[in-house]
Amino acid sequence: MMRSLLFVPGDSERKLLKAGSSGADALILDLEDSVAQSRKADARQTVAGYLDSAKGQSKTPRLVVRINALDTGLTDDDLGAIVRGAPAAILLPKASCGADIQDLSARLSVHEADAGLPEGQIAIHALMTETAAGMLAAASFASKSARLEAVAWGAEDLAADIGAASNRDETGRYTDVFRLARSLTILAAAHCAVEAIDTVFTDFRDSEGLERECHAAVRDGFSGKMAIHPDQVAVINTAFTPAPEDVERAVRILALFAAAGPGAGVLSLDGKMIDKPHLRQAERVARRAGLEPGSLPDLG
């Protein structure tokens, strides 16, 4: 379960060490936007060292590395430095279409082989709305690689790509293009059967605004949210953790369908009819609560 994914500059050893105790479910070790061009090589070495040091630790956040985009000429240098450290996933920025996922997957296979890792061990996360091309090709991300684990959206790079002066209006609400990017991410995630990750909330001092945005993300189908500051992690984790009553209802629905067998259609719970959409929603709540198949509690 990845409720919170905290960005950490890859060239800051101090911030990397501090981030491990932030409570984030995942750390995004950044080699891209937060690292100056002159510091790219140093960042690769620092991130590689951090990955190596994390291998012997029993409790660490899930480690994701954001590499530089495929059109920068830096991708293979990034992968050559960090794949041997076996990160859980690679975050691909500015993914323009499903072919980019295939491209990255093929490159990962080569680097995994060089590092002696099983092919396919490292997953892919895609930032798919940072360019107009990525938005327009949202449907193409499906079925391109079994490595694809999550898709996320970004508002800052998209604003630069389309020439928008701002991504929010005077009330603080995202403008139409950016609401579309958000919606396409949810739809693409469902189409690809992967997790949908909400974008960062840049005003890290506004915890109330962050909380509102988190609850809206949960409501609309996102499974987690990226963070730019450690202080945002607790707010995100709380918002994306299902309430106990929701978990209990989900477990009851799962138990009913399990008892009814694979051919079950419409069932009754508390005097109301439930069917397969309710089952899928219950499965989603159970995943968000960290319940694995076969480990559901007995409600008697």
Annotated catalytic residues are 275
Q: How many CB atoms lie within 10 A of CB 240?
A: 22
How many Å apart are CA 209 and CA 189, to the nearest integer?
A: 25
DSSP string, 34-53: TS-GGGHHHHHHHHHHHHHH
> What are the distances in angstroms from CA 36 to CA 68, 79, 157?
12, 18, 16
In whole angstroms, give the CA distance from residue 292 to residue 278.
Answer: 18
Residue 205: CB partners within 8 Å, gap ≥ 6? none
CB atoms within 10 A of CB 71: 10
Listed in sequence order, the residues at least 6 apart from 127 whose beta carbon sits closer than 8 Å to its beta carbon are 91, 92, 93, 94, 95, 134, 151, 152, 153, 154, 157
Q: What one-character-per-residue DSSP string does 214-254 give?
A: HHHHHHHT--EEEESSGGGHHHHHHHHSPPHHHHHHHHHHH
